[in-house]
Amino acid sequence: MKSRLQKIYNWIDERVQLHDLINFMGKKYVPVHRHSIWYYFGGVTLFLFIIQVFTGILLLFYYKGSADLAFESIQFIMSKVSFGWLIRSIHTWSANLFILSAFIHMFSVYFEKAYRKPRELTWVTGVLMLFLGLGFGFSGYLLPWNELAFFATKVGSDILGDIPFIGEELKIFMRGGEDVTGATLSRMFGFHVALFPALFSILLIIHLLLVQRQGISQPIEFDSNSENEINKMPFFPNFFLRDILFWLLVLNLLAMLAVFFPSELGRKADPFAPAPAGIKPEWYFLFMFQTLKYFPANIWFVEGEMLGIILFAAAGILWLMVPFWDTKSSRGQKNRLINYIGLFAVIFIIVLTILGWIS
Amino acid sequence: MEKTGLADKQSDRRTFLKYLLSGWFGGFCLAVLYPLIGYLKPPEQNEVEVTSVSAGKISEIEKESSKIIRFGNRPVILIRTADDKLLAYDAVCTHLDCTVQYKKEMGVIWCACHNGKYDLTGRNISGPPPRPLQPYRVIQKGEEIFISKIT
C-alpha cells in the first residue's frame, strides 16, 4: 500500500517537481503569543466559504432562477427533496457566519496592524473579498423571491440610486430595468453564482499565495526581537490540526443552528401588494441602513441620504487604503490613532446594529 | 524489563486512540454522506396513472398522416393509414429513446436519430432498434378517438 502510494508520488514528482511545491507549502510558521487565537479566523472564513461553494452547488441542482419558478423551487427543496431544508439552512447560516468571521478576521488584522509593509496587498485583497461577501449576501437574499427579499432588494437598490452622478445608471444596471422584476432576479442570480464566485476565487488565490509567500504576520513588538527569541510552531501539522479542530467546532455550531433554526421562506413576492411591516436588511447591512435613517431629508443643498452614502463610500475607501496612509506602523512605530479609529468603527457598527435591530 | 513494559503500554494507548479516531472519522463521514446522497436522489413525483386518453376527432387527422399524443408523460404516435385504419404505438424508439415519426413516402415509422425503421405493425425492420414498438389500442366512438393501454 505504502510503496504504491510512493510510486504514484514519484510518478507525479518526476513530471511536475512536486517536491518544490511541498517545500514551498511546508515552510510556514505560526507565531505563538497571547493573541494567537485570532490567527484561526482566516481559516474559519475560508472553511465557511468552502461550505458555501458546496451547498451552493447542491442548491443549484433544484433551484430555478425565474420569477415564476424561484419561490416554488425553494418550496420544493424545503418540503420534497430529502434533507433539502438542511442544505438550504446550512447555506443561509454559513453565509451569516462567513460575514461574521470575515469581520472578526479583518478587525484582528487591523488592530495587530498586520497590514503594514510588506502585506499591503493581502489587506487590500481581503477587504475586497469582504465587499464581495456583502455582494454575495445582497444578491443571494433575493433568490427565494419572497416578500421580504423583494422589498429589501427594492430598498437596497433604491439607496444605490442616491449615489451622485452614477447612481441612477447603477440602479438600472443592478435591477435590469427601472423596477425590481424577474429581470432583477436573473441578474442577481448571475452575479451570485457566476460573476462573484469567479472574482472571489481570483482574490482568494492571490490572498492565500501572499500569506504563503510572506509567512504569517507577527505582532509589531516582535519586530525588534531576533529570530530565536520568537516562539513559533510549524503550520503543518501543528497549526493545521488545531485549524481542523476549530473547523469541526464551527461545523457543529453550523449544524445546530441549521437544525434548530432552519431558514424560513415566507410568502411569495407580489409586486402589486403593499410592503409588509418590519422590512429590514440582513444584519450586516443594518448599521448603514440605521445610520441613513438619522440623516435629515436635506442638509444644506444636498439630500441627506446622498451625503450619508458619500460618507460611507469615503470611509470604505479609507479603510481599504489603511496600509498606505498608516506609514507609522510600517516603520515599526506605534500608531495610537489607528487603534482609536478601529475602536470607533467597532463601537459604531455594534451600537447602530443594535439600534437597527430593536427599532 | 520495566522499560519495555512502558513502551508496550504506550503503544497500546496509541492503538486505542487510533481506533477511536478512525471510528469517529468514519461516523463523521457517514453523517455527512447520508444526507448528501439523500439530497442528490431526485424526489419521486406523484404521477397520475393514465390508462386512456382522448386523441381528438377523426376529422383532425388526415389519411396517411400521423399525430403525437401525450399519454401521461409518454408520447404515443397515432397513424391514420391509406386504407383508413387507425394505429397507435409507443413513440419512443427502442434504440436510444428518441421520438419516432411516420414517413408517408416510405410507409414506415422512422426514427431520425439513427435511421431506425419500423413497419406499420410496429416491427423493427431496419437500422439499430432492437425491439418492436409497443402497440396501444385505438377506439373510435363516433367522431372521437381514444387511445388506451393494452392490458
- Which candidate in B33, B37, B39 is best for mutational testing of the A interface (most A CBs within 10 A)? B39
Distance from CA of A262 to the nearest CA of B (A): 15
Helix (H) or strand (E) holding B135: strand B135-141
What integer pLDDT is reported at residue A1 of this predicted model?
64
- Give me Rg for the CA atoms of chain A: 23
Residue A166, number of CB atoms within 10 A of its CB: 11
B residues 96-135 near A, CB within 8 Å?
Answer: none
CB-based contact B43 A83, cutoff 8 Å: no
Model pLDDT for residues A262-313, shown as the tens digit of each residue = 999 989 998 888 888 878 889 999 999 999 888 887 777 778 888 888 899 9
- Cβ–Cβ < 8 Å for A103, A117: no
Cα separation, A269 vs A266, in Å, equals: 9
Residue A223, number of CB atoms within 10 A of its CB: 11
Question: In this complex, is the C-beta atom of B150 within 8 Å of any C-beta atom belonging to chain A?
Answer: no
Kindly identify which residue of chain A lies nearest to residue B33, measuring between CA atoms: A83
pLDDT band at residue A137 under the 50/70/90 scheme: very high
- How much is the average pLDDT of B74-98? 91
- How much is the average pLDDT of B107-111? 91
- Which candidate in A55, A62, A72, A82 is best for mutational testing of the B interface (most B CBs within 10 A)? A82
Cα separation, A228 vs A54, in Å, equals: 42
CB-based contact B35 A87, cutoff 8 Å: yes
pLDDT higher than 90, residue A42: yes
pLDDT higher than 60, residue B116: yes
Kindly list the residues from chain B whose CB atom is less than 8 angstroms away from the CB atom of residue A84: 39
Model pLDDT for residues A313-357, shown as the tens digit of each residue = 999 999 999 999 998 888 888 889 999 999 999 999 999 999 999
Residue A98 is classified by DSSP as H
- Cβ–Cβ < 8 Å for A286, A352: yes
Helix (H) or strand (E) holding A187: helix A182-190
Q: Where does residue B8 rank: exposed (0-12), middle (13-18), buried (19+ CB within 10 A)? A: exposed
With a CB cutoff of 8 Å and minimum separation 6, the contacts of A173 are: none
- Cβ–Cβ < 8 Å for B50, B72: yes
With a CB cutoff of 8 Å and minimum separation 6, the contacts of A357 are: A283, A286
Which of A61, A76, A83 faces B38 most closely, judged by CB atoms?
A: A83
C-alpha distances (whole Å) from B125 to each of A206, A299, B97, B131, B132 are 63, 86, 17, 10, 9
Highest mean pLDDT among A24-28, A96-100, A325-329, B106-110: A96-100
Distance from CA of A261 to the nearest CA of B (A): 18
Residue A315, number of CB atoms within 10 A of its CB: 14
pLDDT higher than 90, residue A62: yes
Highest mean pLDDT among A201-205, B6-10, B101-105: A201-205
Cα separation, A30 vs A345, in Å, equals: 28
- Cβ–Cβ < 8 Å for A250, A48: yes
- Express as a percent the part of chain A with pLDDT over 70: 99
- The chain-wide mean pLDDT, for chain A, equals 91
With a CB cutoff of 8 Å and minimum separation 6, the contacts of A109 are: A38, A115, A123, A126, A217
Q: What SS3 string covers A190-242? A: HHHHHHHHHHHHHHHHHHHHHHHHHCCCCCHHHHHCCHHHCCEEEHHHHHHHH
Question: What distance lies between CA B110 and its chain's CA centroid?
Answer: 20
Kindly list the residues from chain B whose CB atom is less than 8 angstroms away from the CB atom of residue A76: 43
What integer pLDDT is reported at residue B51 of this predicted model?
84
Residue type, A292: L
Question: In this complex, is the C-beta atom of A83 within 8 Å of any C-beta atom belonging to chain B?
Answer: yes
Highest mean pLDDT among A112-116, A199-203, B73-77: A199-203
Residue B61 is classified by DSSP as S
**Terminal alpha carbon distance of chain A:** 64
Model pLDDT for residues A204-230, shown as the tens digit of each residue = 999 999 999 898 888 887 777 776 677
Kindly identify which residue of chain B lies nearest to residue A80, measuring between CA atoms: B43
Q: At what angle do helices A120-142 and A283-294 cross, to 10 degrees?
A: 90
What integer pLDDT is reported at residue A296 of this predicted model?
83
Question: In this complex, is the C-beta atom of A251 within 8 Å of any C-beta atom belonging to chain B?
Answer: no
What integer pLDDT is reported at residue B1 of this predicted model?
47
What integer pLDDT is reported at residue A164 of this predicted model?
81
Kindly list the residues from chain B whose CB atom is less than 8 angstroms away from the CB atom of residue A81: 39, 42-43
More confident residue, B16 or A333: B16
- How much is the average pLDDT of A226-249? 85
What integer pLDDT is reported at residue A63 of this predicted model?
97
Question: In this complex, is the C-beta atom of A87 within 8 Å of any C-beta atom belonging to chain B?
Answer: yes
Burial state string for A82-120 with b = 16 or more CB within 10 A and e = fewer than 16: bbbbbbbbbbbbbbbbbbbbbbbbbbbbbebbbbbeebb
Model pLDDT for residues A163-193, shown as the tens digit of each residue = 888 889 999 999 999 999 999 999 999 999 9
Kindly list the residues from chain A whose CB atom is less than 8 angstroms away from the CB atom of residue B24: none
Q: Is the peptide bond before A31 cis (omega within 30 degrees of 0)?
A: no
Question: In this complex, is the C-beta atom of A261 within 8 Å of any C-beta atom belonging to chain B?
Answer: no
What integer pLDDT is reported at residue B4 of this predicted model?
60
Cα separation, A355 vs A2, in Å, equals: 60
Which of A76, A80, A86 faces B35 most closely, judged by CB atoms?
A: A86
- Cβ–Cβ < 8 Å for A146, A73: no
pLDDT band at residue A237 under the 50/70/90 scheme: confident
CB-based contact B39 A80, cutoff 8 Å: no
- How much is the average pLDDT of A56-79? 95
What integer pLDDT is reported at residue A304 of this predicted model?
82
Cα separation, A55 vs A1, in Å, equals: 34
pLDDT band at residue B57 under the 50/70/90 scheme: confident
- Cβ–Cβ < 8 Å for A295, A312: no
- Express as a percent the part of chain B with pLDDT over 90: 55
Q: How many CB pairs under 8 A join A and B?
A: 23
A110: left (phi over 0), alpha (psi -120 to 50) or beta: alpha
B residues 37-56 near A, CB within 8 Å?
Answer: 38-43
